[in-house]
Amino acid sequence: MGDCIFCRIVRGEIPSARVYEDDLFVAFLDIRPVNRGHVLIVPRVHAERVTDLPEDVLARELPLAARIARAVVAATGCPDFNLFNTNGAPSGQEVFHHHLHVIPRRVGDGLRMSIAPESYGEGEAAALAGGIRKGL
Ligand code: 5GP
Ligand code: ZN
């Protein structure tokens, strides 16, 4: 996609601090890191959501994420990390070219996913689980 910011980074038209590239992916540092060493893993193909990715890209993405996460942990000294992905504006997606975040984490870094959990009424969980099963 012509003016998609991540397509432009993939094509090298916009500079980035690259950490990895292969035939399917480019990975680089997030310009506004949640913690230093925050990496974005971006498929070369333009797809808006994880559910839009071709199967061959999907199959390679998680093994690559695990590999990059190990390298982020080693390089930053942060013992832990989040693997994170947004799909759609309400989920926090700002760049509509699918990407995975690898965010190094340490105790007391202040990052919180603040969630007030909902609860299920009588029979609701079973009905919803059934609906999801039907879609698979
Ligand atoms: P999202 O909210 O869509 O899941 O995450 C998009 C991420 O892309 C954000 O964390 C943001 O800081 C990062 N980002 C946006 N524009 C650029 C850019 O031009 N260069 C880099 N390296 N990161 C970017
Ligand atoms: Zn794109």
pLDDT in tens, 39-92: 999 999 999 999 999 999 999 999 999 999 999 999 999 999 999 999 999 999
pLDDT, position 114:
78
Tell me whether residue 99 is one of the annotated catalytic residues: yes
Domains within the chain, CATH numbers bracketed: 5-135 (3.30.428.10)
Ligand 1 neighbours (beta carbon < 6 A): 5, 14, 16, 28-32, 40, 86, 92-95
pLDDT, position 71:
98
pLDDT, position 79:
94
* pLDDT exceeds cutoff 90 at 1: no
- Confidence (pTM): 0.96
Out of 34, 40, 41, give the residue to mutate to test ligand 1, the one with the largest number of ligand atoms within 8 Å of its CB: 40
Question: What is the SS3 string spanning 35-93?
Answer: CCCCEEEEECCCCCCHHHCCHHHHHHHHHHHHHHHHHHHHHHCCCEEEEECCCCHHHCC
